[in-house]
């Protein structure tokens, strides 16, 4: 078959997803990361459509992308213009990229309805545009829009559009499932048929509207395509494009198509999360290969098996894609889940201690706690069972009031009494709510002994009512997430009282911060002296 080339269109097609808007700086930093990963082509945008993309290409020209070829995207010339008069084609030339990608109609229906052109006019537009770019020394990728739909409706005309581009010198003919509605066997069969009649290398550009974007891309490779287009994390219009973070390991690990080096493949999870961070989206936890839960094991039977051999419930070694195996702790866990979790922390638990922690977790989950999303709370339990562990502070009591004063409006005050460093701290604080007041008072009490807490920031606070039928006396679950020292962690509390639930989660989060951010042993020992 020959080498399969990876073509990323996150910076163009990916940005057509709702709620994604990248600055030029964002696009440049993603482009450099994609090049470092090893993509053969990066489509940077459509310079003829907006000033932002034009600026991107102007700045990108000064960056060394190594062996990666940057592509500018555009369309074939308008039917009433010569190539020299078409502003879109001139913008493609001005982008000064080694490759250009031009989309053209391959469906008779779209030619007549959308372009309001004759079939021959469209063929001329394709020939002229491709030939014009080749005459200016560009590598040309021709995206045959709506190709699979067009092929089924009028096979002869769809093939004629490919021949027009090929005869004009196109380097690639990319078959597009633009509406994302085809199924894998249809794609493979059509690609095989095209391959019989076209010598120019073929590519595939699939959307995910039928949930088959990845499968269709792999089927296209089986059929004979040697270029695969897609986006990181499947970002794209409507339900998205074919997801390259799934396609790449499937090609390399399942289909024996070495598209990147093993070292580059190990950067896949980091790349996925990096792009998610830049576009300001939370990465889907259950994404294949790169998701936080992709190699997470919850069932006790599963964990017991993977402790003996990890491949019993995993299809690959997660390290191959830069991910890691995890054990999820919940009421469905077995003792193995606890021992696995402890082992990752460097804590040795015998069977008796592991069973004791497990029984405690199951009891708390029955009371309304949940630990799947609050791994920091589980980690604290494991640390607390260590014979050498001393808690860095001890709660004596707290008091919270909320009142509305005519002079100041709504006001919350909290006092906390904690034992820290051998002495009792009694601190009061105000807040814009009772939980904020509690947090402020507790931090004030601890900050002198543990100044690292000044760097810890609350980033999320979730409340869930567990039994709404009980109305205002319902059980409440609180999840609190903090960030500090390059770490993000979540703790949980549950109670029929939202303040008490919040206190459990809050105090655990701050204690976890002191464990995670490395409190000096002597400091921790002093903290709990009576």
Q: Measured between alpha carbons, how far is 494 from 369 in angstroms, rounded to an integer?
A: 5
As a three-state string, the secondary structure of 374-436 is CHHHHHHHHHHCCCCCCCCCEEEEEEEEEEEECCCEEEEEEEEEEEECCEEEEEEEEECCHHH
The tens digit of pLDDT for each residue in 322-348 reads: 987 765 554 444 555 665 655 665 666
pLDDT of 364 over the 90 cut = no
| Helix runs in 488-528, H state only | 498-516, 521-527
Average pLDDT over residues 258-282: 90
Residue 488, C-beta contacts closer than 8 angstroms, at least 6 positions apart: 459, 481, 482
Do residues 248 and 268 lie in contact, with contact meaning Cβ atoms separated by under 8 Å?
A: yes
Residue 495, beta-bridge partner list? 476
User: How open is the CA angle 218-294-28, to the nearest 5 degrees?
Assistant: 70
Name which of 318, 313, 366 is nearest 336 in CA terms.
Answer: 313
* Among the ranges given (313-322, 370-379, 494-503), the one the predictor scored with the smallest mean pLDDT: 370-379
Domain ranges of the chain: 5-279, 296-366, 394-527
The larger pLDDT score, comparing residue 281 to residue 348, is at: 281
Pairing of the two strands 409-420 and 394-405:
antiparallel
Q: What is the pTM of this model?
A: 0.70
Percent of the chain with pLDDT over 70: 83
Confidence band, pLDDT 50/70/90 cuts, at residue 363: low
* Among the ranges given (6-10, 346-350, 381-385), the one the predictor scored with the smallest mean pLDDT: 346-350
Q: Which pLDDT does position 521 carry in this prediction? A: 36
- CATH code, 5-279: 3.20.20.70
Confidence band, pLDDT 50/70/90 cuts, at residue 526: very low
Q: Which pLDDT does position 527 carry in this prediction? A: 39
The tens digit of pLDDT for each residue in 221-242 reads: 999 999 999 999 999 999 999 9
Percent of the chain with pLDDT over 90: 49
Q: Which CATH superfamily is domain 394-527 in?
A: Alpha-isopropylmalate synthase LeuA, regulatory domain (3.30.160.270)
Q: Which pLDDT does position 469 carry in this prediction? A: 56
Q: Measured between alpha carbons, how far is 87 from 85 in angstroms, rounded to an integer?
A: 6
Q: Which pLDDT does position 80 carry in this prediction? A: 92
* Among the ranges given (60-69, 335-344, 493-502), the one the predictor scored with the smallest mean pLDDT: 335-344
């Amino acid at each position: 078959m020959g080498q399969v080339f990876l073509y990323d269109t996150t910076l163009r097609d990916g940005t057509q997803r709702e709620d994604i808007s990248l600055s030029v700086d964002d696009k440049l930093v993603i482009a450099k990361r994609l090049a470092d990963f090893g993509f053969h082509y990066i489509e940077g945008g459509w310079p003829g459509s907006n000033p932002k993309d034009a600026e991107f290409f102007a700045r990108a020209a000064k960056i060394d992308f190594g062996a990666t070829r940057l592509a500018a995207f555009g369309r074939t010339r308008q039917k009433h213009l010569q190539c020299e008069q078409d502003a879109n084609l001139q913008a493609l030339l001005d982008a000064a990229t080694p490759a250009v990608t031009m989309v053209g109609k391959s469906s008779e229906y779209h030619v007549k309805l959308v372009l309001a052109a004759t079939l021959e006019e469209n063929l001329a537009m394709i020939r002229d545009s491709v030939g014009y770019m080749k005459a200016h020394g560009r590598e040309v990728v021709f995206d045959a829009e709506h190709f699979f739909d067009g092929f089924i409706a009028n096979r002869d005309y769809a093939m004629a559009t490919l021949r027009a581009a090929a005869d004009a010198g196109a380097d690639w003919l990319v078959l597009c499932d633009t509406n994302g509605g085809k199924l894998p066997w249809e794609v493979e069969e059509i690609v095989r048929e095209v391959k019989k009649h076209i010598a120019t290398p073929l590519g595939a550009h699939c959307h995910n509207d039928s949930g088959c974007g990845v499968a269709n891309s792999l089927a296209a490779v089986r059929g004979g395509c040697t270029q695969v287009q897609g986006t990181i994390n499947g970002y794209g219009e409507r339900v998205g494009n074919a997801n390259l973070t799934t396609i790449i390991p499937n090609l390399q690990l399942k289909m024996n198509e070495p598209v990147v080096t093993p070292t580059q493949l190990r950067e896949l999870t980091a790349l996925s999360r990096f792009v998610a961070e830049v576009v300001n989206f939370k990465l889907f936890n259950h994404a294949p290969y790169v998701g936080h839960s992709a190699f997470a094991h919850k069932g006790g039977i599963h964990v017991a098996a993977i402790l003996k051999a990890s491949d019993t419930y995993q299809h690959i070694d997660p390290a191959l894609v830069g991910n890691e195996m995890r054990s999820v702790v919940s009421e469905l866990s077995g003792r193995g889940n606890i021992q696995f979790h402890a082992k990752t922390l460097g804590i040795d638990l015998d069977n008796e201690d592991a069973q004791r922690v497990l029984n405690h977790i199951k009891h708390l989950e029955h009371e309304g706690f949940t630990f799947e999303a609050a791994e920091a709370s589980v980690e604290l339990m494991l640390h607390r069972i260590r014979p050498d562990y001393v808690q860095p502070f001890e709660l004596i009591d707290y008091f919270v009031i909320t009142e509305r004063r005519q002079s100041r409006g709504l006001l919350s005050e909290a006092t906390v009494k904690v034992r820290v460093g051998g002495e009792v701290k009694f601190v009061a604080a105000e807040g814009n709510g009772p939980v904020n007041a509690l947090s402020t008072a507790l931090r004030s009490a601890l900050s002198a002994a543990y100044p690292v807490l000044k760097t810890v920031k609350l980033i999320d606070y979730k409340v869930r009512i567990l039994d709404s039928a009980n109305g205002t006396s319902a059980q409440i679950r609180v999840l609190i997430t903090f960030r500090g020292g390059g770490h993000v962690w979540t703790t949980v509390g549950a109670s029929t009282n939202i303040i008490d639930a919040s206190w459990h989660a809050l105090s655990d989060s701050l204690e976890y911060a002191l464990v995670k951010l490395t409190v000096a042993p002597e400091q921790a020992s002093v903290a709990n002296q009576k």
